[in-house]
Amino acid sequence: MNISFLETFYWLATLRSFSEAAKRLRVSQPVVSMRMATLQRDLGAELYRGSGKTFELTNAGRRVFAKCEAIVVLSKELEDEARQAASAATTGYVGVTDVIAMSWLPEFLNNLSIDSSLNIGIRTGPLSDLMAALQNGDIDVALVLEPVSDPMLVSDHICDFTVKWMGSPDLLSPGAVKDILDLTRLPIIRSPRNSYRYEKMLEYFRWHDVTGADAFQPRWIDVGLSMATCAHLASRGVGVTALPVAVATTLVSQGRLSIYDIPQEFLPWQIAAVRKRNANPNVVDPVIDNARRAARAFEQAGDNGLYFRALRL
């Protein structure tokens, strides 16, 4: 049964006028008459008698009107509900590792604030915590260091960070550093065992055939998972550390940290947007797009492009 016909009968019975009902529905009076004729034929009952001042509902018409009123109200509520759902912001959660929090997270948040179709919550933390949150469904996307090996996950490359050895010029001037061995004689500020950055450090030493790493491990200073803490202690002359240069540009420009350019270089740290294969595309697609745009904006700011590269599609 056509709901528009029931709505027409509702307004006809309420206003008791074919012309007024036509105005209310923004249709012609013949359309109202046609709908009423069809409705009465479909119901097999006469719903009213007369017109204008003589308009009167029949007993069947009064019963149909009572039901019709509820149907019309519910149909309007359904339309409003659907309209509100269509216009409501999509809600999701994004996990962010600290290297992003210290670099292009402000640009990323600015993009999200402009996009009114998204309502995104941010969670920061170490890689292990973010990956656990992703697997548990607590977040929809994790912006973390690659690689992530899991057949149930999909990674989209976002950007690369250039990593350099850094330290206070008061501890060791850049000109005094010719080789990695010059740095391994000093305390090395690093993240704890089994962390991603710890594994990257060991990988670096093995890659460059730096022997005796176990021997100087007692001089390593384990400061936890905070990259900001590593940068701060290095700037105070506690030891040397390896950092993505783009997250420490302020300390470098202030002369509190020096970059040690030595032959033994780190492989770039790659950032990826990681999500489950069945993740909600209404969340992950705009998040990945905003992340890429934020990375490009960060690369173009100041001298960031010297030590940072956003992915070009």
Residues 66 and 68: their CA atoms lie apart, in Å, by 6
Helices 18-25, 29-43: axis angle to 10 degrees equals: 100
Does residue 290 register a pLDDT over 90? yes
Percent of the chain at pLDDT > 90 equals 42
Q: Same domain, yes or no, for 134 and 283?
A: yes
Most confident of 213-217, 296-300, 309-313: 296-300
Per-residue model confidence (pLDDT) at position 88: 47
With respect to residue 113, please indicate whether it lies within any of the assigned structural domains.
yes
Q: How many domains does the chain have?
A: 3
Residue with the bigger pLDDT between 152 and 83: it is 152
Report which of residues 36 and 211 the model is more confident about: 36
Q: What mean pLDDT do residues 163-180 have?
A: 91
Altogether, the residues listed in the chain come to a count of 313
- At 227-273, the pLDDT tens digits run 888 999 999 999 999 999 999 999 999 999 999 999 999 999 999 99
- How confident is the prediction for the chain on average, in pLDDT? 86
Determine the structural domain holding residue 23 and report its residue range.
3-87
Average pLDDT for 290-310: 94
User: Within a 13 Å sphere around the CA of 71, how many CA atoms are in the beta-carbon half?
Assistant: 17
Give the 3-state secondary structure of residue 2: coil
Q: Are residues 150 and 105 in the same domain?
A: yes
Identify the band that residue 108 occupies on the pLDDT scale cut at 50, 70 and 90. Answer: very high
Same domain, 187 and 247: yes
Same domain, 253 and 276: no
The model's pTM: 0.69
In a domain, 196, yes or no: yes
Mean pLDDT in residue range 68-85: 75
Q: Quote the CA–CA distance of 53 and 210 in Å, as a whole number.
A: 102
Instruction: Classify the C-alpha dihedral 170-173-176-181 as positive or negative.
Output: positive
The answer to whether residues 186 and 173 touch, using CB atoms and an 8 Å cutoff, is no
Here the tokens at position 98 are 């600290």
* CA–CA distance, 258 with 240 (Å, rounded to integer): 10
In a domain, 313, yes or no: no
Put residue 124 in one of left, alpha, beta given phi > 0 → left and psi -120 to 50 → alpha. Answer: beta
Q: Are residues 65 and 131 in the same domain?
A: no
Task: Say if 70 falls within a structural domain.
Answer: yes
pLDDT of residue 198: 79
pLDDT over 70 (residue 214): no
Say if residue 277 is in the same domain as residue 134: yes
312 inside domain = no
> Is residue 311 a part of any domain in this protein?
no
| Residue 167 shares a structural domain with residue 255 | yes
Per-residue model confidence as pLDDT tens digits over 188-201: 888 877 777 778 88
The full DSSP string for 201-234 is HHHHHHHTT---HHHHGGGEEE--S-HHHHHHHH
pLDDT tens column, 274-289: 999 888 888 899 999 9
Report the candidate in 273, 253, 258, 297 with the shortest Cα–Cα distance to residue 94: 273
What is the structure's pLDDT at 218? 47
238, 189 in Cβ contact below 8 A? yes
Buried-exposed string 71-83: b where 16+ CB fall within 10 A, e elsewhere: ebeeeeeeeeeee
Question: 3-15 and 29-43 helices cross at what angle (nearest 10)?
Answer: 110
Answer yes or no: do 275 and 155 share one domain.
Answer: yes
What per-residue confidence (pLDDT) applies to 282? 87
Domain with residue 291: its CATH number is: 3.40.190.10
